[in-house]
Amino acid sequence: MGQKDTMDQEEIYSKVLRAGRRTYFFDVRSTKAGDYYLTITESKKFTHDDGSFHYKKHKIYLYKEDFSAFREIMEEMMDYIIDEKGSEVISERHQKDFKKEEDSFSENGSASGNNFTDVSFDDI
């Protein structure tokens, strides 16, 4: 990578948001002309059956001339979602896990189907 490419990629200020299997990176970078722009990177971890893993990354470049319109639309979209669906997170995956636990509890009388043995400290 040449000197010019290094300057183009210079990180000025960064923040990280970890959200489960996804991580979001917010980086202020410098252009060749010395102006700043924002990159937003989503990195998602995928695990293979053998235990190895890889990351998929998606990146957005956001320049100052687009900040105002981007912010307006982003806020409008987030407000719409909250107004329509509320702020409670309901995901299909969580519902399946909850349903399995609920079914297991009702069938076995214990959460997750685990059979527990009562142990007193005198037994230890």
Q: What pLDDT is stored for residue 18 in this prediction?
A: 95
Q: What pLDDT is stored for residue 38 in this prediction?
A: 97
The tally of domains found in the chain comes to 1
- Answer whether residue 79 is part of any domain: yes
- Answer whether residue 124 is part of any domain: no
Residues 82, 54: Cα–Cα separation, whole Å: 32
Top pLDDT among 88 and 98 is at 88
Asked whether the predicted pLDDT for residue 121 surpasses 60, the reply is: no
Q: pTM above the 0.85 mark?
A: no
- Answer whether residue 116 is part of any domain: no
Any idea what DSSP says for residue 87? S
- Answer whether residue 40 is part of any domain: yes
- Answer whether residue 70 is part of any domain: yes
CATH number of the domain at 24, please.
3.10.450.700
Mean pLDDT of 106-115: 50
Residue 53's pLDDT band (cuts 50, 70, 90)? confident
Residue 97's pLDDT band (cuts 50, 70, 90)? low
- Answer whether residue 115 is part of any domain: no
Asked whether the predicted pLDDT for residue 40 surpasses 90, the reply is: yes
Q: Quote the distance between the C-alpha of residue 44 and its chain's center.
A: 7
- Answer whether residue 64 is part of any domain: yes
Question: Strand 11-19 relative to strand 36-47: parallel, antiparallel, unpaired?
Answer: unpaired
Given strand 11-19, what is the order of strands in its sheet? 11-19, 22-30, 36-47, 53-63
Residues 87, 77: Cα–Cα separation, whole Å: 13
Which residues constitute the domain of residue 50? Answer: 3-107
- Answer whether residue 117 is part of any domain: no
Condensed to tens digits (0 to 9), the pLDDT of residues 70-81 reads 999 999 999 999
Asked whether the predicted pLDDT for residue 26 surpasses 70, the reply is: yes
| Cross-strand partners of 30 | 36
| Amino acid at the residue 72 | E
